[in-house]
Structure 1
Amino acid sequence: MATKKNSQAWAEAKQRCRLNASDIQMAKELGMTPKSLIKNIPGPNQKWKAPVKVWVRDLYEEKFGKVLTTKNQEKPVVSEDWWYDEEDLPF
């Protein structure tokens, strides 16, 4: 049974990383902890780093070959606007 402290940690990770229930489920199946998710939030100078939501889904798909979906969605919706074109890079 989950402890109250553990539940609070997952709730904080869900809020800070902007995850939904299926993202949390994928992270748990990958063996991640709330602390590991929060540590991987990209900083302002880490434009190359994917958002935690995208990172978890990519790892899950790589390991299990599919992404969990919610009942209302056929495929999870991930905003791709975080990615930069090569023209935007300074090098």
Structure 2
Amino acid sequence: MGRNKKKSDWAEAKKRCRLNQNDIQMAKELGMTPKGLIKNIPFPSQQWKAPVKVWVRDLYQDKFGEVLK
């Protein structure tokens, strides 16, 4: 049961944050959780905040030097 819950959490984060499989892999390597990704979705009033997809890629590039393709 726990394993299916984890998969469904990642599937929900993928859908709500508009991520692809590479973005999910980068987030996992950075130690992020699906709940953490969902919490960082910018509200319409947060024009300064980058979308989650861009945010994950920037963090990954800063830490590892290049983005997965």
TM-score, length-scaled by structure 1? 0.74
TM-score, length-scaled by structure 2? 0.97
Q: Which residue of 2 aligns with 1:37?
A: 37
Paired-residue identity, %: 74
Query: Pairwise CA RMSD of aligned residues?
Result: 0.9
User: Larger Cα Rg: Structure 1 or Structure 2?
Assistant: 1
Size of the alignment, in residue pairs? 68
Q: Which runs of 4+ in 1 moved over 2 A?
A: none
More relative contact order, 1 or 2 (CA 8 Å, 6+ apart)? 2
**For 1:22-79, what per-residue CA distance to the aligned partner results, in whole angstroms no more than 9, with x for missing partners?**
000000000000000000000010000000000000000000000000xxxxxxxxxx
Match for 2:46: what amino acid? Q
Q: Which residue of 1 aligns with 2:9?
A: 9
Structure with the bigger percentage of helix: 2
